[in-house]
Amino acid sequence: MTLYAFLGALEQGFLYGIMALGVYLTFRILDFPDLTVDGSLPLGAAVGAVTITSGHSPYLGLLLATGAGFLAGAATAILNTKLKILHLLASILTMISLYSINIRIMNGPNVALLGTPSVLTDLESLGPPLYQITPVFFFLVAALVTGVLIWFLHTQYGQAMLATGDNRQMITSLGVNTDNVIIFGVGLSNALVAFSGALIAQNQGAADVNMGVGTIVAGLASVILGETVFGKATIARACVAVIVGSILYRTAIALALGTRLGGFAFTPSDLNLITAFLVIAALTAPMLKRRFSR
């Protein structure tokens, strides 16, 4: 693997790591399997891109994208808590609605961001080549988001959110309206995913309605890989593990795409299959380790 490819994997790892933190929040903390993310990642990209192409600041784009993601997540949670639709189905309904909504927002299936300002534009003046600065920049962003999430989960409200995912009857009898906690939590999760989507669009120079396909699988793969490799003894460790998992996942994919066996080479369309095998390996690794250590 070349340094260039490795730096690329790092960059992707941090970017998609923010999305994976959102998946961690619903999947692990709230025990709410949420497929909305496949729609809220391109939603964030779309809102962020359209904000820029209509002449506003890329930072405003990130902010609006985050807000839009929150609303998408809240919509799923309201379908579940208030209208009593099964969480998985509720999230699928929001996800397919977002496909239509995203095309409306972009007035087409994609928006190109060529020659427009992005959050990376200001970094170019720093000197070193962009491919070296961007991983550092995205590391700082991912570290900040991780830090804020760890802080939040240790607040009174954050603790109530942890309890909501663990023992809903108990926390209700202690006076917490769990419906509101779930709506806020799933909203926050999708806000992170959309923020990540907006950053990805600015980084790759385009927003596309299909860029969200497989987001949930990539997110889950990162969460599970991270837990297996890095551990989850405390909340802080589990959150950092998500970012570590995301980097491992992107590195594994970069390695796979660079592999040549005689005339055979993986193509990007093989990624789903590779992802599935990665998740299976991460899930069964602890079991295999126990079996062979006996």
Partner 1 sequence: MISIQAANKYFHRGSVNEVHSIRDLSMNVEQGDFITIIGSNGAGKSTFLSCLAGTHALDSGSITMGGTDVTRWPEYKRARFIGRVFQDPLMGTCGSGSIAQNMALAQKRGQRRGLTRGVKTSDREFFRQRLRPLGLGLENRLQDRAGLLSGGQRQALTMVMATLVRPELLLLDEHTAALDPKTAAQILDLTRSIVAEHGLTTLMVTHNMHQALSLGNRLVMMHRGRIIFDVRGQDKAGLTVEALLDKFQSQADAEVSDRMLLG
Looking at the Cβ atoms of 161 and 198, the one nearer to partner 1 is 161
- Give yes or no for a contact between 111 and 207, defined as CB atoms under 8 angstroms apart: yes
Q: Does 106 bind partner 1 (CB under 8 A)?
A: no
- Identify the residue among 76, 80, 110, 178 touching partner 1 (CB under 8 A): 178
Closest CA to 150 of 211, 218, 237: 237
Looking at the Cβ atoms of 164 and 202, the one nearer to partner 1 is 164
Looking at the Cβ atoms of 159 and 204, the one nearer to partner 1 is 159
CB 179, min distance to partner 1, A: 9
CB 165, min distance to partner 1, A: 9
Token pair in block for residue 142? 């991912």
Give how far the C-alpha of residue 9 lies from the chain's centroid of Cα atoms, to the nearest Å: 15
CB 157, min distance to partner 1, A: 5
CB 233, min distance to partner 1, A: 10
- Give the three-state DSSP class for 212: coil
- Identify the residue among 75, 176, 182, 279 touching partner 1 (CB under 8 A): 176
- Identify the residue among 121, 131, 132, 166 touching partner 1 (CB under 8 A): 166
CA distance 50 to 213: 20
Q: Could you say which DSSP state residue 36 is in? A: T
Looking at the Cβ atoms of 171 and 241, the one nearer to partner 1 is 171
CB 147, min distance to partner 1, A: 15
Q: Convert 57-85 to b/e letters by CB count within 10 Å (16 or more is b).
A: ebeebbbbbbbbbbebbbbbbbbbbeeeb
Looking at the Cβ atoms of 53 and 172, the one nearer to partner 1 is 172
Q: Residues touching partner 1: how many (CB under 8 A)? A: 22
Q: Does 167 bind partner 1 (CB under 8 A)?
A: yes
* Backbone φ and ψ of 229, nearest 5°: -85, -40
- Give yes or no for a contact between 60 and 51, defined as CB atoms under 8 angstroms apart: yes
- Residue 214, Cβ density class (10 Å: 0-12 exposed, 13-18 middle, ≥19 buried): middle
CB 88, min distance to partner 1, A: 22
Give how far the C-alpha of residue 87 lies from the chain's centroid of Cα atoms, to the nearest Å: 19
Subset of residues 146 to 165 that bind partner 1, contact rule: CB under 8 A: 152, 154-160, 162-163
CB 152, min distance to partner 1, A: 8
Subset of residues 65 to 84 that bind partner 1, contact rule: CB under 8 A: none
CA distance 294 to 292: 5
Please name every residue paired with 111 in a beta bridge, in sequence order, or none if there are none.
Answer: 207
- Identify the residue among 132, 177, 259, 284 touching partner 1 (CB under 8 A): 177
CB 261, min distance to partner 1, A: 44
CA distance 12 to 247: 7
Looking at the Cβ atoms of 166 and 270, the one nearer to partner 1 is 166
- Identify the residue among 18, 43, 171, 243 touching partner 1 (CB under 8 A): 171
- Residue 266, Cβ density class (10 Å: 0-12 exposed, 13-18 middle, ≥19 buried): middle
Looking at the Cβ atoms of 28 and 87, the one nearer to partner 1 is 28
Q: Which residues bind partner 1 (CB under 8 A)?
A: 152, 154-160, 162-163, 166-167, 169-178
